[in-house]
Amino acid sequence: QVQLVESGGGLVQAGGSLRLSCAASGRTFSNYAMGWFRQAPGKERELIGAISRRSGFSTYYPDSMKGRFTISRDNAKNTMYLQMNSLKPEDTAVYYCAADLVLHTLVVATTDKDKNPEVWGQGTLVTVSS
């Protein structure tokens, strides 16, 4: 079973950029589609985007997330990344990575209560100051 650990969170000023990493252990990382989620205090978890397990690494972003967030992965390093630009105070949240064998499960995880990614990381806190 793959295990995930997020890193790269911290304090950043509004307008700044940050890159988060999600490191996976095990030898099955390349079999999994991956996704980034975030959860602000008192709010439900929301999808940032997801990336396929295929070599082409197709990505999906909800309309609300398009533009400032970019997901990439490096299977040779067993790592997925989230590049965040033009950060706003509203982006303050705990950021989680997740993995599942089916990309669609990640895409609909926050809207379909019957779908839940197989593996979650512990989260990393991002705080954006005004």
Per-residue model confidence as pLDDT tens digits over 23-70: 999 767 888 999 999 999 999 999 999 999 876 789 999 998 889 999
Structure tokens at 76: 């040779």
What angle (nearest 5°) sits at the alpha carbon of residue 107, between those of residues 105 and 110? 90
**Residue 67 dihedral angles phi and psi, to the nearest 5°:** 115, -55
Residue-level pLDDT at 113? 85
As a whole number, mean pLDDT of residues 59-83 equals 92
Lowest mean pLDDT among 27-36, 74-83, 107-116: 27-36
Q: How many helices (H) and strands (E) does the chain have?
A: 1, 11
As a whole number, mean pLDDT of residues 19-25 equals 95
As a whole number, mean pLDDT of residues 92-111 equals 95
Q: In terms of pLDDT, which residue wins out, 11 or 1? A: 11
pLDDT at 130 > cutoff 80: yes
Q: Percent of the chain having pLDDT more than 90? A: 78
Residue-level pLDDT at 53? 86
Residue-level pLDDT at 80? 94
